[in-house]
Chains A and B, each alone.
Chain A
Amino acid sequence: MDAQLKRGLLDVCVLTAIKNEDSYGYKIIKDMQPYLTMSESTLYTILKRLELAKLLTVRTVLHDGRARKYYRITKAGLHRIEEFTEGWNEVLSIYRFITKEAKEK
């Protein structure tokens, strides 16, 4: 898959993982597990990028005597998910057309 395309997809994946409630590193990876496996390093890079783009915010919470970072989606982050979903509906229609055509041949 095209690298830039993949990056965009993974960004939206992570945003979706924190869409409904704040989450933390390990939980994000676990929630995505049934659909895709993401390495911790990849997740770190994505979270950093999303933070820089102000699509999420980070806060440190004391949990059982150690620090845990929680990530919260911003309005801009939610907007990014919407944009992505709309864009991909178009891609899906095209995909259906391509595969329908391929089957008929």
Chain B
Amino acid sequence: MTKKEFLSSLRKKLRGLPPLELRERIGFYSEIIDDKMEEGLSESDAVADVGSVDEIAAQILAEVDPEIIVKSHKKYVNPWQIAILIIGSPVWLSILIAVFAVIWSVVIAIWAVEIPLFIIGFISKYLVIACLESAKFTAKLTKKCIESIGNIFHT
């Protein structure tokens, strides 16, 4: 095994650790492997000399407070959260646009005193209605999507 393979394999196994500690531990092993090679060992011998990735990872994870591992795992975003965020974007995005449309129309109303207010109001009203309608539609669509995804997992 090369040093790179060893370190990346170890890094994967220790993924639950806090990032700083993970970086330091990997650096520690990297340094020791380099020192062994400096003494004359070949790369594969130096890596073998350090021990097996599984044993080392098991030892480290046994030492580390399990609570710390759980806490740092929580920082990783659930891929489902990202998926739902993307799928649902027409909904929250439309709502966001609707809110901005309302704010913007108020701003215009305040500043463009020359232009008849009812025209601005007219345009803004339809902008808001259009956004809300699209939000309603995409909300229904999103709900259908999530339901069908749920069905896939239940079968």
A residues lining the B interface (CB < 8 Å): 24-27, 29, 39-42, 44-45, 64, 66-69
Contact = CB atoms under 8 A, between A and B. Distances in A.
Contacts of B32: 25-26, 29, 40
Contacts of A26: 31-32, 35-36
Interface of B: 24-25, 27-29, 31-32, 34-36, 38, 50-51, 56, 59-60, 63
Nearest to B28: A44
A69 B60 contact: no
Given A26-B36, A64-B38, A41 B59 contact: yes
- Main secondary structure, interface of A, reads helix
Nearest to A68: B31
Nearest to B34: A66
23 contacts: A24-B31, A24-B35, A25-B31, A25-B35, A26-B35, A26-B36, A29-B32, A39-B51, A39-B59, A40-B28, A40-B32, A40-B51, A40-B56, A41-B25, A41-B56, A41-B59, A42-B59, A44-B24, A44-B25, A44-B28, A64-B38, A66-B34, A67-B31
Contacts of B29: 40
Nearest to B49: A40
Given A41-B60, A41-B63, A67-B27, 5 more contacts: A24-B35, A25-B31, A26-B36, A40-B29, A41-B25
Contacts of B34: 66
A60 to B, nearest CB: 10
Contacts of B28: 25, 40, 44, 69
Contact of B63 (A45, A68, A69): A45
